[in-house]
């Protein structure tokens, strides 16, 4: 959500072009306006896409350094005056900002009394005027910026530039991610590594309460109290090209089609099939602590929370440990019963989801062991948890998560083996799960090979304005995941429902114009799912069934059937969700919608 990019260099590059390219690579984060500033040419801002910003830029727009921003509106409508960057009264100080300044009203009132004039409705603009005010008394721009930041309450990831010192850019972080890119004769600041990778793979992640100064030839990091910080660079192991579409029409389809590779990458080096064990290097340091815990709380938001719910079934059934799933945005507003025998497991693709991060911090305050399943190396959740598992899913650009979800489910299955073998799971059980996991990539590929048939189904049902998704046990969360995929990219009403709950309300909606997607594999809940389908058909509701290959009986009952290969019940969600992802994709495409960037949504939610 929102995106920052900044550049300074002495290699003769035009900063305007570098910054625009950086913004384009950040578009997946979700935004409603864009802006750019260089000390030589000033600022240009525009509501809408980066393409609109490019149109507004003068042909002679130039510079050797600058800052740029994609804004997702929080305070103030998505208009040109509210777009970033924001400048001070004298036009010398400029800022781009992700996050929320919680005490901006009181700061704004104080600054207005001091004679400052504001030109936007945003909380961000307070920063430039506050630094301008401190610069009246401080000897340097750096000291004025530090003084201002020490007055601010809230969350921020910022980049600051001063016209009188055009080669230097200041970055700071408090709750919103900031990454430095270290090049040869050029340095970068960004919200995440994506826009940096075309230039360098060497990055440094700032921690909360840290400030950095970059120039073409170097960087410095220090804390808000001016204490120096020394931190080695991290080498990012995926290329910028990996984030491109690779010939597919949309990132979402590309990422769905990468499912088999994602499973292989998540499993690589972690399975010991001949012994029925999972080797998770990220958990080895806390293995002894894990033996002593008597309860797990999984915290996650959105799609990750549905992965968590599947994980709850896996862990309770096969590792025999009590598990609760909590929505990250609610967890810290409870009085959670957490102690040193509790593990709080956070699941987040970006590793920056603010609500999930705060849930981790709440768990820490109560003495819990904190764990993470994240995709982004060096992300805040990865750094702040005691231990964890990386997904190794690679960059996911489309806002609607697909391949990261598969990876999360796979990581949870590995965690189940790891924990289960500590707690009574037999070697035979471990071997069975391990063998089944190894078979998943080719089985997912078999589903992907039927994508044209799923596309035909999506076209057949594209007129529908409502959809019900139903499932039971392991596939109960998959019903919710299927529904959220359809609603977030096609904007139609779709509901997930535990099939046993239909008679408690949802079945009242069913008629001949209200189709149902029924997830009905041949598992322990099959007979009950068949009964639920009969109930829908008795009310003339159309039914698409997701069923196990070879199940001819369900074809006599459902209007349409999508077949998937057979696997263990605990792993069936990993297969069953794939046709639901494809169905949602083709459904939205049939409607001519922007599949990769659905309205009002962002890839990484870093504000409340």
Nearest Cα to 375, choosing from 354, 348, 400?
348
Where residue 550 falls (left for φ over 0; alpha for ψ -120 to 50; beta otherwise) is left
Query: Which H helix or E strand runs over 47?
Result: strand 42-47
Is residue 436 within 8 Å of 483, Cβ to Cβ? no
List, as one string, the DSSP characters of 258-295: THHHHHHHHHTTTEETTTTEE--GGGGGGHHHHHH--E
In sequence order, which ranges of 449-568 are alpha helices (DSSP H)?
Answer: 451-461, 476-490, 526-537, 553-557
Is residue 178 within 8 Å of 207, Cβ to Cβ? no
Token readout for 308 is: 């968590």
E strands in 368-483: 369-374, 387-390, 466-471
Indicate if 603 belongs to the active site.
yes
In sequence order, which ranges of 26-61 are alpha helices (DSSP H)?
Answer: 50-56
How crowded is residue 240: how many other Cβ atoms within 10 Å of its Cβ?
17
Q: Within its chain, how far is the Cα of 548 from the centroid? A: 31
Token readout for 449 is: 């090979």
**CA 141, 144, 150, 155: dihedral to nearest 10 degrees?**
-50
Phi, psi of 318 (to 5 degrees): -110, -25
User: DSSP label at 175?
Assistant: B
Query: Which H helix or E strand runs over 67?
Result: strand 65-71
2, 108, 403, 443: the catalytic one is: 2
64, 254, 443, 603: the catalytic one is: 603
Which residues, at least 6 apart from 139, have a Cβ–Cβ distance to it below 8 Å?
none
Indicate if 451 belongs to the active site.
no
What length does the chain have? 608
Token readout for 375 is: 């995709």
How crowded is residue 40: how many other Cβ atoms within 10 Å of its Cβ?
16
Catalytic residues: 2, 603
């Amino acid at each position: 959500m929102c995106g920052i990019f900044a550049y300074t260099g002495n290699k003769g590059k035009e900063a305007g072009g570098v910054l625009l390219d950086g913004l384009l690579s950040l578009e997946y984060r979700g935004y409603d306006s864009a802006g750019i500033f260089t000390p030589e040419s000033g600022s240009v801002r525009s509501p809408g896409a980066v393409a609109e910003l490019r149109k507004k830029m003068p042909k002679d727009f130039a510079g050797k350094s600058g800052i740029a921003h994609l804004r997702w509106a929080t305070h103030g409508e998505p208009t040109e005056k509210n777009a970033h960057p924001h400048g001070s009264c004298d036009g010398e100080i400029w800022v781009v900002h992700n996050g929320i300044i919680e005490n901006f009203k009181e700061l704004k009132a104080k600054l207005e009394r001091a004679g400052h004039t504001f030109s936007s409705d945003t909380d961000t603009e307070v920063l430039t005027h506050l630094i301008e005010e401190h610069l009246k008394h401080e000897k340097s721009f750096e000291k004025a910026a530090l003084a201002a930041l020490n007055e601010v309450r809230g969350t921020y990831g910022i980049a600051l530039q001063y016209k009188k010192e055009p080669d230097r850019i200041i970055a700071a972080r408090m709750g919103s991610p900031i990454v430095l890119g270290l090049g040869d004769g050029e340095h970068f600041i960004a919200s995440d590594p994506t826009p940096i990778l075309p230039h360098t793979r060497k990055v440094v992640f700032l921690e909360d309460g840290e400030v950095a100064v970059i120039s073409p030839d170097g960087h410095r990091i220090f804390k808000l109290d001016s204490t120096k910080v020394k931190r080695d660079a991290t080498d990012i192991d995926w290329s910028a090209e990996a984030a491109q579409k690779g010939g597919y029409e949309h990132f979402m389809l590309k990422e769905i089609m990468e499912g088999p590779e994602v499973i292989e990458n998540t499993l690589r080096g972690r399975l010991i099939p001949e012994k029925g064990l999972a080797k998770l290097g990220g958990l080895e340091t806390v293995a002894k602590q894990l033996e002593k815990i008597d309860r797990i709380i999984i915290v996650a938001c959105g799609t990750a929370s549905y992965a968590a719910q599947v994980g709850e079934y896996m862990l309770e059934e096969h590792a025999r440990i009590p598990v609760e799933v909590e929505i990250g945005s609610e967890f810290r507003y409870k009085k959670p019963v957490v102690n040193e025998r509790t593990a709080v497991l956070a699941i987040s693709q970006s590793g920056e989801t603010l609500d999930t991060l705060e849930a981790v911090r709440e768990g820490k305050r109560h003495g819990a062991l904190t764990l993470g399943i994240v995709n982004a190396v060096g992300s805040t959740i990865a750094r702040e948890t005691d231990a964890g598992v990386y997904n190794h899913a690679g960059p996911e650009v489309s806002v609607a998560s697909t391949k990261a979800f598969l990876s999360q489910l796979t990581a949870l299955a590995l965690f189940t083996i790891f924990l289960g073998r500590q707690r009574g799971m037999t070697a035979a059980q471990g071997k069975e799960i391990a063998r089944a996991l190894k078979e998943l990539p080719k089985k997912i590929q078999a589903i992907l090979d039927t994508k044209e048939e799923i596309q035909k189904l999506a076209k057949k049902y594209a007129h529908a304005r409502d959809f019900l998704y139903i499932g039971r046990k392991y596939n109960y969360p998959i019903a919710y995941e299927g529904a959220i995929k359809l609603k977030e990219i096609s904007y139609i009403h779709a509901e997930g429902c535990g099939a046993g709950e239909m008679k408690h309300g949802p079945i009242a909606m069913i008629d001949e114009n209200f189709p149902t997607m029924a997830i009905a594999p041949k598992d322990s809940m099959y007979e009950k799912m068949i009964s639920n389908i009969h109930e829908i058909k008795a009310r003339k509701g159309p039914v698409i069934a997701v069923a196990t290959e070879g199940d001819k009986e369900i074809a006599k009952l459902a209007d349409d059937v999508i077949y998937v290969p057979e696997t263990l019940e605990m792993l069936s969600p990993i297969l069953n969700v794939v046709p639901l992802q494809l169905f949602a994709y083709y459904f939205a495409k049939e409607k001519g919608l922007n599949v990769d960037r659905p309205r009002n949504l962002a890839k990484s939610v870093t504000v409340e």
